[in-house]
């Protein structure tokens, strides 16, 4: 019986054609023709003042921390249930992550806990759209406006998802998307910074180009480029951009295929969810999601761990997700909690993610489904 991996990178068919074209264009460094094509596609389809490709979503988050001028001691409110990059980007500038609990339904930051966590040192709020399901952005943006805070959307999982018709990443002052091979639209490694506030456009270009006005030079706006600000080499090469553009062109069909797989899981497990043995994902009415993750929440940590082990014996790779940041060594050292994080801790112990990738066959998905029922029966 063949192994069913948790994830398998998908190619649309034009990636290698575009990579060859990038080579023939004679430019393999960043900001070539394919980078420009990606920028335009993202601006047209997602909506932002400016899009800047980066070599990772982590890099986009690090650029965001520089752009909002994080200083030592500044506080950034975020969930603990997220990837380490969300916090690390700000800790690198001396910022202090302030962890608040998540919602019971979506596993996103609980917007009702944010305002109470604000202090005189608070600089920004960083909502993470878990599994491509939107946070309650209207509430978050209202809080930010009333307290003069920045909002940086960590939309690493959110491409092709919307909140009240607006694409995730296009709502906050800044947004960050990921094109890592585990995401829906991929380039191996890669990300993009979405600039939605005009005041950040010029400086973002400089920070991304090692702190120089090199982009202005190539546009003929200055006679030579020079060191202007702090920065780093945040841009990807043209081969990465060429691969990504092939994916962006097929983003709708990729998303549609994932939604079909997600819906098949959800329909199959409705009865199981009604028994109370597991809880299925919740999609709020304000959100159109992208089928990034299909997960089950089991009742106990021991059940979750045994489920993963038993699926592994059947050559099906199911995995847990984040270890909450506030429980990690670095989280304890660099961050602080606001209130208890009981929901975060409970769900982190009980969540399991099922295989979901574009070319997952119906036969193999049915194998995952039937195996899930077999194991859940044994757990009861």
On whether the CB atoms of residues 133 and 281 are closer than 8 A, the answer is yes
Eight-class DSSP state of 317: -
Eight-class DSSP state of 131: G
- The model's pLDDT over 297-346, given as tens digits with 9 standing for 90+, comes to 999 999 999 999 999 999 999 999 999 999 999 999 999 999 999 999 99
Q: Report the pLDDT value the prediction gives residue 93, as an integer from 0 to 100.
A: 98
- The model's pLDDT over 186-231, given as tens digits with 9 standing for 90+, comes to 999 999 999 999 999 999 999 999 999 888 877 777 778 899 999 9
How far apart are alpha carbons 240 and 142 in whole angstroms? 37
On whether the CB atoms of residues 321 and 369 are closer than 8 A, the answer is no
Task: Inform me whether the pLDDT recorded for 241 exceeds 70.
Answer: yes
On whether the CB atoms of residues 111 and 136 are closer than 8 A, the answer is yes
Share of the chain above pLDDT 70, in %: 100
C-alpha distances (whole Å) from 15 to each of 11, 38, 186, 188, 241 are 7, 13, 11, 12, 10
The rounded mean pLDDT for the chain is 96
Stated length of the chain: 380
DSSP 3-state percent helix, strand, coil across the chain (nearest 5): 45, 15, 40
Q: Report the pLDDT value the prediction gives residue 218, as an integer from 0 to 100.
A: 75
Model-wide pTM > 0.75: yes
Task: Inform me whether the pLDDT recorded for 380 exceeds 70.
Answer: no
Reduced to 3 states (helix: H, G, I; strand: E, B; else coil), residue 107 is coil
Q: Which domains does the chain have, with CATH numbers?
A: 15-249 (3.40.640.10), 251-379 (3.90.1150.10)
Q: Report the pLDDT value the prediction gives residue 215, as an integer from 0 to 100.
A: 83
Task: Inform me whether the pLDDT recorded for 182 exceeds 70.
Answer: yes
Q: Which residues contact 36 (CB under 8 A, 6 or more apart)?
A: none
How far apart are alpha carbons 290 and 161 in whole angstroms? 5
Q: Report the pLDDT value the prediction gives residue 216, as an integer from 0 to 100.
A: 83
How far apart are alpha carbons 50 and 56 in whole angstroms? 17
Q: Report the pLDDT value the prediction gives residue 213, as an integer from 0 to 100.
A: 86
- Measured in Å, how far apart are the chain's first and last C-alpha atoms? 26
- The model's pLDDT over 53-64, given as tens digits with 9 standing for 90+, comes to 999 999 999 999
Task: Inform me whether the pLDDT recorded for 378 exceeds 90.
Answer: no
What's the gap between Cα 378 and its chain centre? Answer: 34
How far apart are alpha carbons 1 and 103 in whole angstroms? 39
Q: Report the pLDDT value the prediction gives residue 122, as an integer from 0 to 100.
A: 98
Task: Inform me whether the pLDDT recorded for 32 exceeds 90.
Answer: yes
| Mean pLDDT of all residues in 111-130 | 98
Q: Do the strands 75-79 and 351-353 form a parallel or antiparallel pair, or are they unpaired?
A: unpaired
């Amino acid at each position: 019986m063949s192994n069913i991996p948790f994830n398998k990178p998908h190619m649309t068919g034009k990636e290698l054609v575009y990579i060859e074209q990038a080579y023939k264009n004679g430019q393999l460094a960043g900001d070539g023709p394919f980078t420009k094509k990606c920028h335009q596609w993202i601006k047209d389809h997602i909506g932002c003042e400016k899009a800047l490709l980066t070599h990772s979503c982590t890099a986009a988050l690090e650029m965001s921390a520089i752009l909002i001028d994080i200083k030592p001691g500044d506080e950034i409110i975020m969930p603990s249930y997220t990837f380490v990059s969300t916090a690390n980007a700000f800790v690198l500038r001396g910022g202090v992550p302030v962890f608040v609990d998540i919602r019971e339904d979506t596993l996103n930051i609980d917007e009702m806990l944010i305002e109470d966590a604000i202090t005189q040192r608070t600089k920004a709020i960083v909502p993470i759209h878990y599994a491509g399901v939107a946070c309650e952005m209207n509430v978050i943006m209202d809080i930010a406006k009333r307290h003069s805070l920045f909002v940086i959307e960590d939309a690493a999982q959110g491409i092709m998802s919307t909140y009240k018709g607006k694409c995730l990443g296009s709502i906050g002052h800044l947004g960050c998307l990921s094109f890592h091979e585990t995401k829906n639209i991929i380039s191996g490694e890669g990300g993009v910074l979405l600039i939605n506030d005009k005041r950040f456009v010029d400086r973002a270009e400089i920070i991304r180009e090692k702190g120089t006005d090199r982009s202005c030079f190539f546009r003929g706006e200055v006679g030579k480029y020079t060191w202007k600000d702090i920065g780093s080499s945040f841009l990807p090469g043209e081969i990465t951009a060429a691969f990504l553009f092939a994916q962006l062109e097929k983003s709708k069909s990729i998303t549609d295929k994932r939604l079909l797989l997600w819906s098949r899981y959800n329909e199959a497990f409705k009865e199981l969810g009604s028994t109370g043995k597991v809880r299925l994902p919740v999609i709020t009415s304000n959100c159109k999601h992208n089928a990034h993750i299909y997960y089950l929440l089991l009742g106990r940590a021991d059940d979750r761990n045994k489920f993963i082990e038993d699926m592994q014996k059947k050559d099906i790779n199911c995995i847990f997700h984040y270890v909450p940041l506030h429980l990690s060594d670095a989280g304890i050292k660099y961050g602080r909690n606001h209130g208890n994080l009981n929901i975060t801790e409970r769900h982190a112990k009980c969540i399991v993610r099922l295989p979901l990738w574009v070319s997952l066959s119906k036969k193999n998905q049915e194998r995952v489904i039937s195996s899930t029922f077999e194991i859940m029966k044994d757990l009861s």
